[in-house]
Amino acid sequence: MMDSLTLNNGVTMPLKGFGVFQITDGPLCRKSVLMALQAGYRMIDTAACYGNEMAVGDAIQASGIDRKDLFLVSKVWIQDTGYGKTMVSFEKTLANLQTDYLDLYLIHMPYGDYHSSWKAMEDLLASGRVRAIGVCNFLADRLDDLILSHHIVPAVNQIEMHPFCQQKALRQFMESFQIQPMAWAPLAEGREHLFRHPVLTQIGQAYGKTAAQVALRWLWQNQVVSIPKSVHQERIEENFAIDDFTLSSADMMRIAQLDQGHPLILDVQSPAEVERLHQIRFDQ
């Protein structure tokens, strides 16, 4: 199976990425990204609001890996939606990451003036400073509105996705526009006892793999990009080592039955969550 895929604008994107959400300690983030790059990861996913873009940039510089061999992803936060503010945030992101372009730039949340942000991102794409643009956490109605209101269809929608939240209806809608699903929290942040889950553990035993590796391989075989996070070298290497086995169709069906049909971590339609996320402010 291929370890990369082609987005709806022709850009090639790795299926396996490394996420840095909640790694707020600069030296620890830098070390973790270096370990991920040494393990073989070539896609790093960060965001303006994570507060660690500079650490990611430092790690990339220290790695000695050619920029063209990397796939860098970042995101604009709610406080910076709007045309002008998105442009300013983008410049800060480039400076923090010590690069002159992004491979993928995303709108982090479906709130605020994201329509004007999308116009800014269309212009960044046209200028060549971004290779692909997309969104995060957009449900079908918001996606449809964005598509109908602008010229460019998002290349990616980064969503909560793991064996317990499989987003089947949303993914079907996205497929009609060739929008690539990208899974955040691919290991469900350990919820539902994922690392010890009996079904995932039993499947893994047949292949000599862990429950986490089974969950990540399930995403891979569904052609869903994933960005697991860890600060431990053994776990980083384990999460990357999923291309030497193939889940059977029976195993894939067993995992499909674990779907609970709703998010476990973030309900983007909850007014309480909207208010909480709007209150998150930071200096980039």
Amino acid letter, 148: L
114 is catalytic: no
Q: HSE-up of 152 (CA within 13 Å, CB side)? A: 22
CA pair distance 45, 95, nearest whole angstrom: 16
| Angle, CA of 232, 225 and 36, to the nearest 5° | 25
Catalytic residue from among 41, 50, 105, 114: 50
Question: CB neighbours of 174 closer than 8 A, spacing ≥ 6?
Answer: 143, 157, 180, 181
Q: HSE-up of 113 (CA within 13 Å, CB side)? A: 12
Residue linked to tokens 């860890």:
230
Which of the residues are catalytic? 50
